[in-house]
A and B are shown apart, each in its own frame.
Chain A
Amino acid sequence: MRIERELMRGAGPLAVLKLLERGEMYGYQLVEALAKRTAGVLDMGQSTLYPLLYNLEAKGLIESVWKTSTTERDRKYYRLTKAGIKRLVKDTEQWRAVNAAMAALGITASLANPLRTPSLNLGGGAA
């Protein structure tokens, strides 16, 4: 499932910040991780990822450094800055609030029970 560009614009940076929370990563790793961990929902081509990374870097949320890997190939690694960590916390809270609101509207699953999708409630005779 491909996400609309407008939605991706809001979700993509947060997703990247979240992935970098665990440690520094290079571009290909990020592409792969996004595709795998979001089951392809937030899969973005390089044409989107790299500009996104440059934007985050311009905002001071991440920083990059060239490193020579064990395969002797240069790779550019990205990692969170202090500002990036703060932003991640803040944006996560906001997304949770949005998600809760969406859940209240029956659009998304509750965070308390993320596996319970709205469709499970349809028919609703569980009580």
Chain B
Amino acid sequence: MTNPHRTNTALADQNLVMRILRTPIHILPQNLRRKSAERAIAQTNLPELLQRLILDVTNRSKLWRSERLDVARELASHFHDGLASGTSSDKLAENFGDRARAAALIHRSKKRCRPKAWHALALTTKAVGLLFIATIALYLALAARAFLTHPNIARNYLAEINADIEKIPEANRAWPLYRQAYLAQPRMPEEIAKEQFPAIKPEDPLWPTTVAYVKECQPQIKLLHQAAALPSLGSFLSYQITDVEVDTHSRWLAGTDLEKARAQSKRQADGFALSTDPNPDLIGVLIPNLGTMRHFARLLTLDARIAALNNDPARAHENLESMYKMSAHLSESGFIISGLVRLAIHDRATQTLSNILRDQPDLLSTDQLTSLAHVLARNNLAVDLSTERLIFYDFIQRAYSDNGRGDGHLTAEGFNLLNKYNFRPNGSTSLQALIAPAATGLMASRKEITRLYEQGLDQAVRFAATPVWKRTDADSPDLASANIAASATSRFRFLPVWALTPALGRAVWVHDESTQRSAGLLTAIAIEIYRRKHGSYPSSLADIETSILPAIPLDMFDGQPLRYLPHNLLDNNRPVIYSIGVDRKDDHARAPEKIINGVASPSNWMSESRLKDALQSPTERSSIDGDWILWPLSPDPASKSQ
């Protein structure tokens, strides 16, 4: 029972102890604060009606303890004054007004009196809270957008590419013969497999074993010649790889350690080969012909060298011609990697023929040289980015939503696809899942991504079509990628473009280099045919009849005819064909002191403005001050393309 005139603080303290004991622990601090106010009010000696009023108002005000005590003290003082003036406690309570409203007003006004730091903190807390809520809301909206919208996979690019291959008559398809040759190959001796076997020289201890192995491969080489003579490759793109191919392929992966190789090959195959999806990702498709063709090019190089050493021009000629035709076969797929392998095989043939022409100029007949010149000149070495575009479009259709107007956003499926191909920002899997909705919101739209990608590839096509001597730094097809890579934000925002754009500049330069080497070899064949016809080398390239050389190839560094010296004082008075090289200065066939990448080639190309600075630097100068010798090549046959 409540004592209506309780003023005894001891009683209040006793009640306080009991209440504390009975109070659940989680509301104890709140009750302790309340008890402090109660105790203070109890000490005012006011009638209980007014004590209750003060307690009620202060409790409802939800202010800090000190503030409540201050309010309670002031109200108590007020009521004391009222009582002293003769007003009854009932009247004072009545005059006080509405308690709830008073508590609310006091709460609001007292809070305004708090320190500025508190207001700043409160405002910050509120702002952070609002920001947090807004972030969560945005996150949920993005999550809904990412997970509730799906890509529209409308095209089967793999089937479309294969449909074109299907149109090639079976009799014209070379790949079945290449494959047959590949699967029937004798096992390569371990000691040869460990070496770069085309580079093995007659003086090497391994030479007899190598010659024996190549002899053993003659049935397969015959098949290769048959295959190379066919007009098309006809190799279907597939996700399927048989165990036989895995095992056979293993031999080239790791020599004779078959178990290790099989495991390695299986690992490679498991990632891609087991898909039974009728419309699989184009990006993960297998191109097994690349490794196969590279291997065959090495084998034919070796066979051509052995044939040359054995004075067997027909065999050497057949091998070289097959290599050029194999290279041409690889232009069929349109993958940039296929193009690079195509150029590598072409270069290997060019280098082998150049060396034969240097070391055994009379080996090949004029007809043989002419036929090789024709097949070499016919090889289309242009950069082909058509399938690269399809890879990108295929990725886009699998990763982005489609609003029917060429735009959309990255979906959850798209984010998973980025992860599948390791095109992702660093972080754990759970972190990846957590950031997926945000990532899909932050990454650029389908339209932006596509536009940027196409700009880069279009730029590369224009760059490749522009003569080297007319190019500037601003034309570089790698500028777009460099801009994306310049900051972490743009790398993230345009991740698909950054990840899926190949090294375009490098691809173009490799093509340029190969084209110029071919031009050098064509000119070398022309001067050799001229020598046979006239008894000596021409004094000038302009002396060569157009029936032998229809036009003098141009030096890619200045657009002028290739340079030629009939008697190179630096090389025993032998003729030399060269380009003025990166420094655009005719050094009369003097090669740079330090040769990077094998030759003073276009890969070191730089604009006029950069060239001036580079020539001032002793380090850079040593690699660019000089000419690019196209023929004869360095006597060492083991160059980079081996």
B-binding residues in A (CB < 8 A): 26-29, 31-32, 45-48, 50-55, 57-59, 66, 71, 73-76
Contact = CB atoms under 8 A, between A and B. Distances in A.
Contact of A73 (B77, B98, B105): B77
A24 to B, nearest CB: 14
Contacts of B98: 47
A29 B98 CA distance: 21
B109 A58 contact: yes
A66 B97 CA distance: 24
Contacts of A74: 73, 77
B97 A48 contact: yes
A32 B112 CA distance: 26
Interface in B89-142: 95-99, 101-102, 105-106, 108-110, 112-113
Interface stretch (B78-86, B278-286, B324-332): B78-86
Contacts of B105: 47-48, 50-51
6 contacts: A27-B81, A29-B81, A46-B95, A47-B105, A57-B113, A76-B73
A56 to B, nearest CB: 9
B75 interface: yes
Interface size class of B (residues with CB under 8 A): 20 to 34
Interface string B618-639: 0000000000000000000000
Interface of B: 71, 73-75, 77-78, 80-82, 84-85, 95-99, 101-102, 105-106, 108-110, 112-113
Given A28-B82, A28-B85, A54-B110, 14 more contacts: A26-B81, A27-B77, A27-B81, A29-B81, A45-B97, A47-B96, A47-B102, A47-B105, A48-B102, A50-B75, A50-B105, A51-B108, A51-B109, A58-B113
Contact of B80 (A45, A53, A57, A73): A73
A46 B75 contact: yes
A55 B95 CA distance: 21
A83 to B, nearest CB: 15
Contacts of A52: 109
Nearest to B53: A46
A36 to B, nearest CB: 12
Given A28-B82, A57-B113, A58-B109, A50 B77 contact: no
A24 B13 CA distance: 37
Contact of A50 (B82, B102, B112): B102
A121 B224 CA distance: 125
Nearest to A43: B95
A54 B81 contact: no
Nearest to B111: A58
Nearest to B110: A54
A55 B102 CA distance: 13
Nearest to A71: B84
Nearest to B57: A47
B80 A58 contact: no
B80 A51 contact: no
A46 B75 CA distance: 8
Nearest to A76: B74
A67 B498 CA distance: 75
Closest 5 CB pairs of A and B: A47-B97, A47-B102, A45-B97, A51-B105, A58-B112
A52 B256 CA distance: 96
A66 B76 CA distance: 13
Contacts of A55: 109, 112
Contacts of B71: 50
